[in-house]
Structure formats: C-alpha cells, structure tokens
Amino acid sequence: MQIPSRFTIAVHILTLIAQNKGNETKLTSDLMASSVGVNPVIIRKTLSQLKKADLIFVQRGSGGSTLAMAPEEINLLQVYRAVDSIGPSGQLFSFHDNPNPACPVGRNIHGILDQSLEDVQMAMEKELEKKTLAGILKDAKANWKETGA
C-alpha cells in the first residue's frame, strides 16, 4: 500500500510557493502543474485543500498563492493531514474485510496486528511532525547549489 501522491504534490506546491516569495511572477496553477508534472486541475484541488487547512492564502483571478505562516511553522504532518493522505478512516493500514472466523489466524489477526500497525503509524506521524517546510527549503537550496540549478 502506498500513501497517495497528493502528499508529495502538496509538499512540492508549498516548496514552490515558499521559494517564489518576493518574486513578481505569480505562481499560477499552470506553472505549478508544469513543475509537478500533473494536470492543473490536480494543483487547484490541492491548493484548495491546503487553503482549507489554513496553510496558504490563495488569490483568485490572476492567481497567486502565499504561505499562511512561516515555513518553520508548517510541518509535514499538517500537510499530510491537509490533503487527506490516508482517507476518512484516519488509518494508514486498512484491513481486509472478511477474515475467516473459523480459522485461528483469521479469528485473531486483528489482535495480532492492530497495535503493531498503530505503533508504526504513530511513529511515522511523529517523524512527519518533526520535519518542516523550512527544512525542505534548506535541503532544496543545498541540492540546487550542488547541481547548479
């Protein structure tokens, strides 16, 4: 199972917005879509989710988005939650619907796995909470210098 790409798209968008701060060129959904490599409709939907989560401000019409707070204040857990990366259940791991109650494994699989899977999800969320957009920008700028971009 993979976390949908909405999360990485959202981080990409936020990095573009932060990197574009102070630039006179407005970041339109078309420009962002070109960078991300997706349809502008996906960008607009993601922008809407980020706006609803109070992570960005979006200007209608001629376009333009800005961060709603400093990059140091935006962590990846906020982004992950903003774009519904794991759906309405809130659970990273989904269980198959009908384990066989007549089978000793099927009857007990939830008891065997539930706590372990919850622990894994909690560990991932703690790590995402530690990572900020400021850290992503720092890494991006270091990479740009190394690659000459």
What confidence score (pLDDT) does residue 69 get? 97
Choose which CATH entry (3.30.43.10, 3.90.10.10, 1.10.10.10, 3.30.413.10) describes domain 6-88+132-147.
1.10.10.10
Section 23-46 average pLDDT: 92
Residue 77: band (very low, low, confident or very high) from pLDDT cuts 50, 70, 90: very high
Residue 149 has pLDDT above 70, yes or no: no
Residue 33 has pLDDT above 80, yes or no: yes
Residue 46: band (very low, low, confident or very high) from pLDDT cuts 50, 70, 90: very high
93-147 pLDDT per residue, tens: 877 888 999 999 999 999 999 999 999 999 999 999 999 999 999 999 888 776 6
Q: Where are the domains of the chain?
A: 6-88+132-147
49-67 pLDDT per residue, tens: 999 999 999 987 666 899 9
Cβ(91)–Cβ(55) below 8 Å: no
3-state per-residue secondary structure call for the chain: CCCCCHHHHHHHHHHHHHHCCCCCCCCCHHHHHHHHCCCHHHHHHHHHHHHHCCCEEECCCCCCEEECCCHHHCEHHHHHHHCCCCCCCCCCCCCCCCCCCCCHHHHHHHHHHHHHHHHHHHHHHHHHHHCEHHHHHHHHHHHHHHHCC
